[in-house]
Structure 1
Amino acid sequence: MLSSILPSEAFAFLLVTCRMAAIVMLLPALGEQSVPRRIRVSFGFLLSLVVYSSVRQSLPEMPAGSVELAALIGREIALGIMIALMARLIMTAVHTAGTVLAFQSGLAAAQAFDPNQGTQSAIISTLMTLMAVTLIMVTNIHHLMIMGMVNSYYIFPITESIPFADFAGIAQHYVATSFTLGIMLAAPFIVYSLVYNLGLGLVARMMPQFQVFFIGMPVNIFLGFALFMVVVSSMMMVFLDHFEQYFLQMLG
């Protein structure tokens, strides 16, 4: 009796682990590149232990052939990656806003390696990304993320095929939404840069002998930091609202 139950339970738990581990490895905040890979895998395994009991009834029986088994495992891994990437697309809005902010305030040349993006980016972008990750954890939005991971079994049942067409449309929507959100977050700096550079242009036109560049650049950086200090809290609150809305949609 036990010999017939254990393989079935082990297979069901493996399916849950494949989806949960794939999501945790790429999900914002929980799956950042700065988090060691072993910790992410371990957290995905522990999370699977918790999720398994609540979704066990919706899991299929163990297939007889190895091809069907490999197909189910590959499907769960692919589905977990796609779910996490949708959330990662929203996270790029902060990086887009930081990049625009850096260019408008004259800080684009100050770059460093961003572990979250895996490449070099403006220091302001790295700072805003780290702030967003910190606020996600502080405001307990990661609890909502875990609830969305559990609810994904009801939205995308294992017995059904992956809706690639739906995912393509969702990805297109969130790419546009992320870019729009990034520009909206950086809107105060776009307006500020337009007004400031227009003023510098008028000064240069009225006083050609005046060294506009040498005076204007330090003032531009100072005013950029001052404006950032004033609006950064509002920027992060707007981002958190949109980020939370994504997981509310996943919760159905």
Structure 2
Amino acid sequence: MLVLCRVSAAVMVLPGIGESEIPMVVRAALAVGIAVLIYPGVRTLLPAPQLPVPQLVALIAAELACGLLIGWLARLLALSLPIAGQIISTMIGLSSVLQPDPDLGSQTSALSRLLAIVAPVLVLSSGLYALPLGALAGSYRLLPPGMPLPTGDIVQSVAVATENSFALALRLASPLVLVGLLWQLMLGVLARLLPTLQVYQLSLPGQVLGGLLLFGLLLGPILHNWMQALQTGFDTLPGR
């Protein structure tokens, strides 16, 4: 049961296999299957089954926290792609075209939602989902059941992962951010030269079409760099 607690908590939030679009029954079946595979290798690390109820409840809570930690660290890295889509949408004038997104919030831009759908497909098709699962199995050596949780290290790990996620998102979106800033600078100069002309209204269609064209040209390199960064980040998860 303790193995299932840690595994199920991680599976609920892991990128690829923990998406909200996947039915809960499927995720529960995956958690049970992964727990069965992990159990033979970690059963010697598990405490004795005869424990007082308060101690057992505390142990279950700690196992859930360990699973959530590993799953959420991996999820933070994967969220860099839809965050980059949100930045790109703002720079090319599509931030007002909103779609519901359970990952980033109630609503997000269309490009961000598109990349949020592409992200789990890439994680599953490339086999990157196996790296967090390997970290989950290795976490029993780093954080065996019954060991006090290092709360200071946990908080620092989450903070660093959040920082890395936003930094990666900005790097992925940087070409379009640069072009968008230059475009706005050019429009500002043009508006000063021709004050009677509605420069921003006239330029909006060109900004959107040009931004979409540039996004289409850069989509391949953006996804490639994201997958490379994701693999590097997954290799640094606790337990790897």
Match in the other structure for 1:79: 66
The alpha carbon displacement at 1:30 in A equals: 0.9
The alpha carbon displacement at 1:125 in A equals: 0.6
The alpha carbon displacement at 1:206 in A equals: 2.2
Q: Could you tell me whether the CA contact under 8 Å between 1:34 and 1:115 is conserved in 2?
A: no
Match in the other structure for 1:25: 12
Aligned length: 239
Partner amino acid, structure 1, of 2:156: G
The alpha carbon displacement at 1:118 in A equals: 4.7
CA distance in 2, matches of 1:64, 1:95: 44
Partner amino acid, structure 1, of 2:139: S
Q: Could you tell me whether the CA contact under 8 Å between 1:114 and 1:120 is conserved in 2?
A: yes
What 5-or-longer segments of structure 2 have no aligned partner?
none
Match in the other structure for 1:184: 171
Moved more, 18-27 or 148-157: 148-157
CA distance in 2, matches of 1:116, 1:56: 34
Q: Could you tell me whether the CA contact under 8 Å between 2:98 and 2:110 is conserved in 1?
A: yes
1:20-43 per-position Cα deviation (integer Å, ceiling 9, x unaligned):
000001111111111111211111
Moved more, 89-98 or 223-232: 89-98
Match in the other structure for 2:203: 216
Partner amino acid, structure 1, of 2:201: F
Match in the other structure for 2:109: 122
Query: Which structure ranks higher in relative contact order (CA pairs < 8 Å, sequence separation ≥ 6)?
Result: 2
TM-score scaled by length of structure 2: 0.94
The correspondence of residues 15-164 of structure 1 with structure 2, limited to 5 A, is 15-164=2-151
SS of the residue aligned with 2:107? strand
CA distance in 1, matches of 2:160, 2:205: 39
SS of the residue aligned with 1:26? coil
CA distance in 1, matches of 2:74, 2:34: 18
Q: Could you tell me whether the CA contact under 8 Å between 1:34 and 1:116 is conserved in 2?
A: no
CA distance in 1, matches of 2:85, 2:76: 15
CA distance in 2, matches of 1:247, 1:198: 39
SS of the residue aligned with 1:249? coil
What 5-or-longer segments of structure 1 have no aligned partner?
1-13
CA distance in 1, matches of 2:176, 2:94: 12
Residue 225 of structure 1 is aligned with which of 198, 212, 229?
Answer: 212
Partner amino acid, structure 1, of 2:225: V
Q: Percent identity?
A: 28
Partner amino acid, structure 2, of 1:130: I
CA distance in 2, matches of 1:117, 1:37: 20
Moved more, 16-25 or 48-57: 48-57
TM-score scaled by length of structure 1: 0.90
CA distance in 2, matches of 1:128, 1:244: 18
Query: What value does the CA root-mean-square deviation take over the aligned residues?
Result: 1.5
* Higher Rg: 1
Residue 188 of structure 2 is aligned with which of 201, 212, 215?
Answer: 201
The alpha carbon displacement at 1:209 in A equals: 3.4
Moved more, 51-60 or 16-25: 51-60
Partner amino acid, structure 2, of 1:67: P
Q: Could you tell me whether the CA contact under 8 Å between 1:95 and 1:125 is conserved in 2?
A: yes
